[in-house]
Structure 1
């Protein structure tokens, strides 16, 4: 293994506290990036089936193939980020130059080119794979920034918790407003309305994301030789905490099914597409509350305990939701709120635990590879959304969903299954790998102190 040394660009005592301006800039940038992610998460399946006219099973396969490509592509982009060395830093330059093309490609996902079915399917493959590559070029750097802003795990936890809470609005605001704006722009042709609505939010995301370039400073500078692919493979092999976080995230894949299914659920099961906005608003409130309480939960039962406790509670509530049904709107609203509250701690913990694994890998191997570690997280997040969308597409196909018409009871039952049973299955699966996670806060404190001693030497 090649060795590395770290230098600190600020005074040592300042590393324990992240300056407010930098924390604000990180939060705003994450919010801008979540606008893009939220558009893809909430509307891509609908755009490809109801706007481009593709079959649900074909869309599910498309998303799955794109994610298989990411299995090769994301680690390479992580290595590219780790090898970046400019006067602006390692990660910030990507957040200056990539947001504009990302916004353009996001908008083109909602453009119907008017080709034949085969031509449209090819167009969808090209544009979505390109979107995934561009998104990765912002996702890896923005999360890797959190590890070079401070060495302190507790400071990182506090910042990421706050950033996740506020940036949730980046996902949910467009989720609420895009259907409303689409109807205003083009009542007779929703496809045009969605195109214009998405374009507005994509443009808004650009200045927000670039705040990570202008307002954040890379304070922990690691002087390293060029990282080889073999080094990154060895780092991952020896990084058991990262492996277990990665597996836990993969097991959570079906928890993303309701995000792809909610637009169908609101339109057909509840009979009013505008209900999606209400459900999204309730989800946003629940997630903000859950994220706000996450640091306190971590102090009491640590990160592993939070994931286990919330997963068990979610299984119980999802089972109850499936039993009660969706005839009563109050039940739908209450379940949406509570489930969103319980889901949000895991969203906060993902980047925190991956950041902890970066410190662990540096301590164990002598190599600090933020880009590769966070490429594992971004890849897992893409797999989560892909498998969630694939599962929804498969259920819609099996239950004979037909776009733009009244649905049969069989199709509506399938949609509700995606909202309840599928995420419950994932919550059970998550309990298996997380059980073996053993990187405690006490161990992290010891690692941090030892790394400081090494760097001083």
Structure 2
């Protein structure tokens, strides 16, 4: 019988996949907005529609990918082949997004739409397959949680590289041309992402092969709609993603304009948040060994809401040291729930199978990715609208209204969505003890069915 234990190499290889994925995720959350406004030259009023439309397309693409993975099975497994075949197209798409053509504004807007859409489609292909992979690696929930700890740790390392390396390399390699500098720096990140996805493919094994019955789309939606725990998790994903994206997208603006920082300060501020998140992955893996993971999820998000309000009222323009300390604390606490969230998806699938008698796997994972895209789309639209409302003007001294808006977008506004996320998780009840019961009941029903 094949062991359900994962080797350290396999956990690292699995984590490398999320590191590759974070080349895009971190860039989209921390760099793309300020890149588009301050370097590429897009108007803030155009950002809202761009972000919302692209994320809508991404949500549909995630949905389609989820359907494909349910109906696809090869000698390499159900999910890993997508990482192999899409690694290079994924890397190329990232490179083109950060390429700034010397064209007129309308042509550049078309290029931004086209490249962003292609990258979103490639990210769906690798992303949905990757987040579905833990359910196939092992049936052991503790091994899944451990693997997700590696995954999220390495994901934050990838984010750390993007935040600290890209701005500095862009300045050095650009030689006074920021657009050329970002193109070169992101080319390096794109190459890294391609190599890491290939490494993930070659070091992991799909041990668990679920039989997924062919179900009409309407029936799958109906089955998933009866899975109340998955619905709460999806709702938490939407609200949490809105908070993450708004805060992450405005962090560079906050460091540059509110704290009056240069490129080094911007890089350090972004990296401080990522470094705190890396530490959070280690702490979370340790804490969940003796403290309820669901309670950890709930209360950390409520604490984040409180910290967000404190940042807004305590940090004044140019108050760099206090801003760094509070931002570190917030970034540490907000990510303590992350390993719990990603391991919980597989558990809600088992719960749903027990409750309804039908298993919806790829669609369930794809649905979480859709929830992420919905959150990103809403957040992207809000960012464009808010920057326009607060009268932000790129590359110049900001008005008091713009500074207040930037401060709100880093603190109170995302904090409200984290409060909603924590509140939703009071409805979620699949603890480790409860999940053990679910597994036993599933096993018994399978034995009874022959």
TM-score by length of 2: 0.94
The aligned counterpart of 2:381 is: 390
Say which SS state the counterpart of residue 384 (structure 1) adopts: helix
The aligned counterpart of 1:360 is: 351
**Out of 420, 428, 432, which is 2:419 matched to?**
428
**Out of 396, 407, 429, which is 1:416 matched to?**
407
The aligned counterpart of 2:281 is: 291
Quick one: structure 1 residues 180 and 443, their matched pair in 2 at CA, closer, same or farther if it must change by over 3 Å? same
The aligned counterpart of 2:251 is: 262
Between the aligned partners of 1:323 and 1:310, the Cα distance in structure 2 is: 20
Between the aligned partners of 1:157 and 1:81, the Cα distance in structure 2 is: 22
CA offset at residue 454 of structure 1?
Answer: 4.6
CA offset at residue 55 of structure 1?
Answer: 0.9
Say which SS state the counterpart of residue 221 (structure 1) adopts: coil
Q: Is the 1:83–1:227 Cα contact (8 Å) retained in structure 2?
A: no
CA offset at residue 309 of structure 1?
Answer: 1.0
Between the aligned partners of 1:123 and 1:285, the Cα distance in structure 2 is: 34
The aligned counterpart of 1:5 is: none
The aligned counterpart of 2:93 is: 105
Deviations 1:178-209 (A, max 9, x none): 11111111132101110111011101111111
Between the aligned partners of 2:403 and 2:186, the Cα distance in structure 1 is: 27
Moved more, 374-383 or 201-210: 374-383
The count of residues paired between Structure 1 and Structure 2 equals: 445
Q: Is the 1:392–1:415 Cα contact (8 Å) retained in structure 2?
A: no
Q: Is the 1:254–1:387 Cα contact (8 Å) retained in structure 2?
A: no
Between the aligned partners of 1:30 and 1:244, the Cα distance in structure 2 is: 24
The aligned counterpart of 2:181 is: 193
**Out of 320, 328, 336, which is 2:310 matched to?**
320
Asked if residue 61 in structure 1 is aligned to residue 49 in structure 2, the reply is yes
Mapping of 1:15-414 within 5 angstroms? Answer: 15=4, 17-252=5-240, 253-271=242-260, 272-326=262-316, 327-414=318-405
Say which SS state the counterpart of residue 93 (structure 1) adopts: helix
Could you tell me which runs of 5 or more consecutive residues in structure 2 were left unpaired when the two chains were aligned: none
TM-score by length of 1: 0.92
Say which SS state the counterpart of residue 219 (structure 1) adopts: coil
Between the aligned partners of 2:444 and 2:392, the Cα distance in structure 1 is: 62
Q: Is the 2:174–2:181 Cα contact (8 Å) retained in structure 1?
A: yes
Moved more, 286-295 or 202-211: 286-295
Between the aligned partners of 2:56 and 2:212, the Cα distance in structure 1 is: 31
Say which SS state the counterpart of residue 288 (structure 2) adopts: helix
Say which SS state the counterpart of residue 210 (structure 2) adopts: strand
Say which SS state the counterpart of residue 113 (structure 1) adopts: coil
Could you tell me which runs of 5 or more consecutive residues in structure 1 were left unpaired when the two chains were aligned: 1-9
- CA-based RMSD of the aligned residues comes to 1.9
Moved more, 265-274 or 137-146: 265-274
CA offset at residue 299 of structure 1?
Answer: 4.4
CA offset at residue 453 of structure 1?
Answer: 4.1
